[in-house]
Amino acid sequence: MSYVFAFNLTEHKLYSYTDIGILLKRIDFSEIIKSHGEIICASSNGLNFALFNRRIDTITLIRFSQKKVILLKTINVEASLIEFFSKS
């Protein structure tokens, strides 16, 4: 089965439709935005997003599926840079 995804980035919602236009699921991901930061970029297929939280200097990667939002990884930018330069 094919799916069509439509994003409302202003209201932080994802709509998942069948290929004939039947709404399957509406996912509100505003709580994820509040806790992990604003969207800074998306993958070319539009299903992977990077979020940046300026207050705590972290980048979080999330993936959307037809039924849910999956948190992939949260990276602390400062700690990662310190680790990288200490290995060099």
pLDDT in tens, the chain (88 residues): 788 999 999 999 999 999 999 999 999 999 999 999 999 999 998 899 999 999 999 999 999 988 899 999 999 999 999 999 998 7
* Confidence at residue 28, expressed as pLDDT on a 0 to 100 scale: 95
Q: Residue 72 has what pLDDT?
A: 97
The number of folded domains in the chain is 1
Structure confidence at residue 43 (pLDDT): 94
Q: What is the model's pLDDT at position 64?
A: 92
- Within the chain, where are the H helices? 30-36, 77-87
Which pLDDT does position 27 carry in this prediction?
94
Separation of alpha carbons 41 and 1, rounded Å: 28
**Tokens in use for 24?**
């399957």
Q: With contact defined as beta carbons under 8 Å apart, do 40 and 50 qualify? A: yes
Nearest-10 Cα torsion for 67, 69, 70, 72: 150
What does the CA dihedral 33, 51, 48, 31 come to, rounded to 10 degrees?
-10
By the 10 Å C-beta count (0-12 exposed, 13-18 middle, 19+ buried), 84 is classed as exposed
Range of the domain at 37: 3-87
Tokens encoding 65: 């599926």
Residue 65: per-residue pLDDT: 87
